[in-house]
Amino acid sequence: MTSTEESGAGRLAGKVVLVAGASSGMGRATALACAREGADVAVVARRRAALEVVAAQIRALGRRVVSCPADLTDPSAVESAFTRTVEQLGLLDVVVITAGTNIRERALSVLTQQGWEEVLAGNVETAFQVTRAAVPRLRGRGGRIIYVSSLAVQRPDTSGVAYQAAKHAVVGLAHGTMQEEKANGIRTTVIFPGVTDTPLLLKRPVPTSPEVVAKALQPEDVAAACVFVAALPLRANVPELQIAPSQL
């Protein structure tokens, strides 16, 4: 057992983590997991009331927290969230991007222009805006950006052409950022979760069967993967990480 573990400080003690998409699902679980591991946390998402619930839970764990309601597709709102985070919590160490969405009318035969734009905005535009705001604040600190994509990228399925395209784009954004910024100490990781019991399942055209839900990953499983990556020493990086249900 390390001295950190013996003191109960946690693997992320002394770090500041910003979680984008923190109001529910994987984002909420990741924000709480980071706090339990000793990090101070900024939580960013659109839904103010849900975000405040998460913030209260983090405070109850004895960690500092900044709640930043923001539309993640709005550059000024995202920039403001990062500014508040640094002002109130100090320098930033880790950014986790869990924001994402899908729609019911996802098949190419029924996908509308509006639907296409909605899915790309909710997955790619959000990731881009968060990345653009994060990079200047992570340079020179061994900063890390963790992108939550989808196992659908590596195991194509019927999640929809817009969703598939968007999650592929997130991978390109992550790897491109790494190549441009690794000399400045920034590392990126893409996590590819399989079926996970989150509110996104409710947007499927056909309801997911209880049998599948029972075997799905839990948000806490993805959060554990994020914490593992965030806690790696500066000399180490995991460019990509799959996490799949063991029985599906």
pLDDT in tens, 76-117: 999 999 999 999 999 999 999 999 999 999 999 999 999 999
- What pLDDT score does 206 carry? 83
**Closest residue by Cα to residue 196 from 173, 223, 172:** 223
- What pLDDT score does 246 carry? 95
Mean pLDDT over the full length of the chain = 94
DSSP state, residue 121:
I
Predicted TM-score (pTM) of the model is 0.93
Q: What structural domains and CATH numbers belong to the chain?
A: 12-243 (3.40.50.720)
Q: Under the phi-then-psi rule, with left for phi > 0, alpha for psi from -120 to 50, and beta for the rest, what region is 43?
A: beta
CA end-to-end span of the chain = 35
Q: Both tokens of residue 236? A: 């180490």
pLDDT digits (tens, 9 = 90+) for 51-81: 999 999 999 999 999 999 999 999 999 999 9
DSSP state, residue 207:
P
Q: Both tokens of residue 36? A: 């339990």
Query: Of 33, 163, 170, 245, which is the active-site residue?
Result: 163
The pLDDT-based confidence of 3 (bands split at 50, 70, 90) is very low
Q: CB count, 10 Å around CB of 40?
A: 23
Which strand (E) or helix (H) includes residue 26? helix 25-36
Task: Tell me how far apart the alpha carbons of residues 53 and 55 are, in angstroms, rounded to a whole number.
Answer: 5
Task: Tell me how far apart the alpha carbons of residues 213 and 100 are, in angstroms, rounded to a whole number.
Answer: 19
Known active-site residue 147 = no
- Whether 175 shows a pLDDT value over 90: the answer reads yes
Contact 130, 78 (CB under 8 A): yes
- What pLDDT score does 157 carry? 87
- Whether 7 shows a pLDDT value over 50: the answer reads no
Task: Count H helices and E strands in the chain, helices first.
Answer: 9, 7
**Residue matched to tokens 């968007």:** 166
Bridge partners of 113, per DSSP, are: none
pLDDT digits (tens, 9 = 90+) for 135-146: 999 999 889 999
Which strand (E) or helix (H) includes residue 220? helix 219-230
Contact 89, 16 (CB under 8 A): yes
- What pLDDT score does 9 carry? 79
